[in-house]
Each structure stands twice: as C-alpha cells, then as structure tokens.
Structure 1
C-alpha cells in the first residue's frame, strides 16, 4: 500500500524571538497542496518573497542554517524542518514576519506541539521517497567529520559526537525509524560550550539568547565572579555549575541530550535535499556545514535519478517504421546532407528518428581536425529533418510538400557528439498545427544523456509545380 502525502488540517501560529537577531517573530504553519514541499514566506518584506527549503538556497551555516531566495532570507530553520520531517508532514507553507525562525526552547518540541494542534490530513498523491541504493560518503579530514548514507528500508539515523571534553565525553544517539523522533529526539535542546557563549555575548551575536533555550557546557575553570557576570547578563539571581558539568539553569532531559540534538540538526538539514529518504544515515561529529554539504551530494543523486527516469529507452535495432529509402521518398535531403537514418516511432504528435554518427561524415574533415565533434548547427538540422517527417505526416501526399524552418529558440548543447555516437532524435508538437505552422520541442539523446535540446517552428508548403 502506497503512503500518501500529508499536510496540516488548519493553520497554526507560534511566536518567539530569533536566537541570533533577537527579533520578535510570529511564524504560521499553513496547509499546502500536493507536491508543494516546504516553503518559507517572508510576509514582512515587499512582495512577500517565497523561499524554497532547498539546499541550493543555503547561504550560511556558521551559526545555524540560512536560506535566501527571491530577495528574502530566513535563518535558523533546521529545528522547524526537523519537526516537519519528524511529523511526517510533506507540504507546508511557513509564513513568518521576521528574518529568523524563533528559537523557542532550543529544540523542536514546541513546533511539534503546534503541528499536533493544527492536525494532519492525508492527501490524494502518493509520497515519493528517495531510496539510497549505494553508500554515499562525505568527510572533512581537518574536522574529523564523517557521514555516510547506506541502503535501508526505513529512515534510520546514528550520530556520534566527540568534542574532547571531559564533561561531554563521547556520546551516541540513534533512531531506527522516523516515528521515534517525537519521543526520543524532538525535545532535545541545542548546546554550546561556556567559552563559545562568552565569545558570542562579547560580539553581540546571540541577541535572543537565554539560559532557557540552550544547554551550556562548562569546559573551563570558572570562578564566582564570572558566574555572577553571566547571571547579570541573563537576569538571574544566581548561576552555578551543576554536577553534570553544565550550568544549573536547566536539567538534562536525556543523559546524551547533546548527541540527540545533533541528530535533530541532521534531520532538519537533510530535509533540504528535497525528498523523504529511505536510508541509514551515520554521522560522526556532524555540523551544519557538513550536513548541508552531504544534503547537496544526496540531491545530486536525486537529480541524476530523475533525469534517468525522464529519458526513454529505445530499441535501436528494432524494425524501423521508415528506412533511409522511405525517408528520402518524403524529404528532399540527400547524402551527405541527409541526417536521419531511420524512423522508429511516428504518431500525430511525436516522432523518433535515429542518426548513426561515423568517422567518415564529411563535416569531420574540417571541424576540429584531430578532435572530431559534430557541429551543433548540424545537430539542430538533424532534429529539423526529423521534425519535418512529423509535419509531413499530417498531409495525405507528403511527396508534394516541403517544410521550411522559420525559427529556432532556446537551443542548448549539453554534451559533445563524437564519432561512434548513436543519436536518438525526438520531436514533440508543442501545440496543434495551425495554418501549416508547427511548433516543436526537439531532444537528442545519446545513451542515457540528453545532449541537445531546442524549440523549433516550421511551415509546411506545397512544392513548386506540385
């Protein structure tokens, strides 16, 4: 049974302050249509720009993950995305009136609670997963970061952190299915070391920071004066160091809460790959920069697989509809300018032809001698001739007509065409033929790659004296 996409039953709003900007912000999760995905919308900016939750839009990972698109940006989005993935919600528009998602308590639990309040409904479309079918590796030697995605029937994650800290030590966290996120991961808060906190405060980089939204690990000797100074900064009467080696502002929700929060960040950042995953993710010492780089590798594989799915496979050895002699009965072109060898498919709206490129083509004599490449203009001509067969198929006596090409637009040459290549030449009508004018999309495929694309316009006319 296929799993259906899901969205919210109704809008729901959460409010708070941004960790780094200190700006007050209200954020509304709104239902969205099928295949919408996750999108942010800055309703406080002119034009209310929409920002796709896409790894290609990441502009900064220094203190959280920042996206920018269409003149708008939004920061610290990883906890929001983790809550959506953990809730197994596929389509949401997230409106906010500030530059940064609210930090709340430093975890995803308040976002998850809001999603529960809104409710979740199934949609008609099936959810499409990206299944990892081979190991994908990522490493940063200088930071000792390692990440790998391995094949799995579910979305599993294992995270290890090791900061050479006597307080934290080495910690592990894992979930075996995304349904465990709510109970095991969602409430785990962000953390920082005391020396990092002091540096951030000194440079005014956590204007919305509060001791209620982070675990502070005490990684150095600290005296009463320093603790008193911190208490004053955060409007506390007194701050001390708890027996676990953290500031006593909060109690740990799990003994390995820092490792669990790193797992939360991995889930949020990998959502930027653009699809729900079926994989076992293992990460050692991950951070936002590594997570985003890993998401880019995964997205590249998604794009490659989608390209493969959209490129049809043709049996070039099958019996053709027209052989070269039948083609010459319809087209006026003759060797060496005839650039279609046979026609494999022909309907009212599309045609598929074949051209075998050999070393004895006359254009190779003077075009890049020593490094033969089929000229792009002749690739377009091969498409034009193939399209001509499609257009001539619309009249009862094609031998009495010619096709004249009127316009070529948006031609793109993506790969070289060299001797030995077999060109699959496909042309599709973009609109019905009217008054003898045809608009077509042409595509040339070699193997599993599209090498050329173009839009063309042609006019059919009777031959002189026909």
Structure 2
C-alpha cells in the first residue's frame, strides 16, 4: 500500500524485457539519491563510485550501479529527470534489476515527479578543466570552469548513417529541461537494430516502441518529436550520467560524440579531485 508521499512508476526493462516497478519516497535526510531494495536493505547510492559495467554484449550501452549482489541498470533516464527537476535527495525503491524504459525518454519520470518538492544539493564548481578523449573514435568530453550550467552535446555520425550533424544545449533551467529535453527518446540506426534483432536481442520491441532511423534519416513507423531528437536524447543521457557526481555540476560541459563510458570517466576524474587544491570546490 502506498503512502501519500510515495509515487509509483512501472513498465519493462529495455535490455531485460522484464516487468519493472519503482517506488519513489521522499528522503528522510540529506542522503542523496539512493536505490533501495523493497526489504529496506541493501541500498546503493547513485554515485560514480558504485558505477559498474554490465556483462555481455550490451555492456557499456547503459548506466549500472551496484553494491555486492544488488545492481540496478539503465538508471540514466531517471537520474536525468531528477537532475532536471533539481531533486537530489530521494529514495528509489526497486528490486535488483533494470528500471523501466517507458517510452525511451525521461518524460514519464518527469510527469510522475514534477510535483515533488525540490531537494537541492550544494553545487560543484571547477577550478580547472577536465577532459577525456577516445583516440580510437575521436570522441571527447570536457568540463570547464563556469559560473552557470551549460551542457552541450555534439552528435556526429559517419556519412550514410542518415543522421545529420546536430547539437543541443541545456542551461540548467528545469522548465527548459522538461519541455525540450525530457521528451527526447532513445534511438538506434536501422542496421544496428537489425543486427541486435538477429542476435536475439530486444524481441519485445518494434520501431513503434523505440526510434529506429532508416538510412534516409527518417524514423521507421514513427515520427520525430523534434528535428534534432537524437542530439537531445544524447544530452538527456549526459545529464543523467553527470548526476553520478551526486550534486549539480556548475560548469561548461561539451560532449563531442561521447558515450556513457567517457562521461563516467569524466565523473571519476572530477570525483577524485573533490578538493580545492585539486580542482573542485563545493
């Protein structure tokens, strides 16, 4: 039975295809964002220190946190929604497994939580830049000192992919997030979707459920919510992964073709330097 302070969201996991149910409870203290087993224990904080890479062929395609045997996967959309709403102290009650993917965006989480009280956290500010490069792909991500939040994702696919070069930015404003970023859905190229289906993955999904983009750039059996929806969704993921710092990062962050892995490494660098002498101040 839910109390008036509890909010429930349910669906199925993107990778597991299993039913998934989460219950949101107001944190009783400044405990941060925590994932809690329904029995009350174990629990794991949504912090980069607990980030893990899932095993199997899909490892690295989502964000996973774990402590001992308690693991929760595909948390990036929820963390993005919480950061966008400026909610930094909340308990997310769920069994070990995967959060519901909903429609592939963060909109369902935002709609469920938008009336929840803001629970702000002390921001992090940088004294120096941090950067992570992937020499193999040319992707990179950099966080630079700034007086306000400015996150930018630059999407670049090879010629013939069907997706034009595009970018999108967020200035930290919750309304901007709710209206312009939260509705952007996860996507894949048609050739990627065919390969994954051939491998027996995602049997529960069709192009009507998730964006599958044809070589001509048009979604198959679907329509874009925004002309630059792919870049907006990548920014959504970026915001969620940066939330693993546990507090808002007040910085200029530019992500160029970057992945979950690069953002996680950036978070590790920043978290490891949470000292004024090393480049971060509260």
Is the TM-score greater than 0.5? yes
| Rounded Cα–Cα distance in structure 1 between residues aligned with 2:250 and 2:33 | 18
Change (3 A) 1:204 1:47: farther
Residue of structure 2 equivalent to 1:218: 214
| Rounded Cα–Cα distance in structure 2 between residues aligned with 1:34 and 1:28 | 17
2:188–2:213 contact (8 Å) kept in structure 1: yes
One of 149, 158, 167 as aligned partner of 1:164: 158
Residue of structure 2 equivalent to 1:347: none
Residue of structure 1 equivalent to 2:225: 253
1:58 equivalent to 2:58? Answer no
Query: Of the two, which has the highest radius of gyration?
Result: 1
Residue of structure 1 equivalent to 2:170: 175
2:134–2:140 contact (8 Å) kept in structure 1: yes
Residue of structure 2 equivalent to 1:112: 110
Deviation at 1:306, TM superposition (A): 9.3
Residue of structure 1 equivalent to 2:16: 21
One of 185, 205, 211 as aligned partner of 1:209: 205
Residue of structure 1 equivalent to 2:56: none
Residue of structure 2 equivalent to 1:131: 125
Counterparts in 2 of 1:387-406, with a 5 A limit?
A: none
Residue of structure 2 equivalent to 1:294: 266
Counterparts in 2 of 1:27-426, with a 5 A limit?
A: 27-43=22-38, 48-60=41-53, 61-97=59-95, 99-116=97-114, 119-121=115-117, 127-166=121-160, 167-179=162-174, 180-219=176-215, 244-247=217-220, 249-302=221-274, 304-305=275-276
1:274–1:299 contact (8 Å) kept in structure 2: no
1:12 equivalent to 2:34? Answer no
| Rounded Cα–Cα distance in structure 1 between residues aligned with 2:224 and 2:164 | 15
Deviation at 1:213, TM superposition (A): 3.7
TM score, norm. by length of structure 2: 0.89
What is the SS of the residue equivalent to 1:250?
Answer: coil
1:17–1:104 contact (8 Å) kept in structure 2: yes
| Rounded Cα–Cα distance in structure 2 between residues aligned with 1:291 and 1:67 | 14
Q: CA RMSD in A?
A: 2.2
* Runs of 5+ consecutive residues of structure 2 not aligned to the other structure: 54-58
Aligned residues: 270
| Rounded Cα–Cα distance in structure 1 between residues aligned with 2:204 and 2:34 | 24
* CA distances 1:72-96 after superposition (whole Å, capped 9, x unpaired): 0011100000000000011011012
Change (3 A) 1:273 1:18: same
Of the two structures, which has the highest relative contact order with CA contacts closer than 8 Å and spacing of 6 or more?
A: 2
2:86–2:118 contact (8 Å) kept in structure 1: no
What is the SS of the residue equivalent to 2:132?
Answer: strand
1:157–1:176 contact (8 Å) kept in structure 2: yes
2:107–2:183 contact (8 Å) kept in structure 1: yes
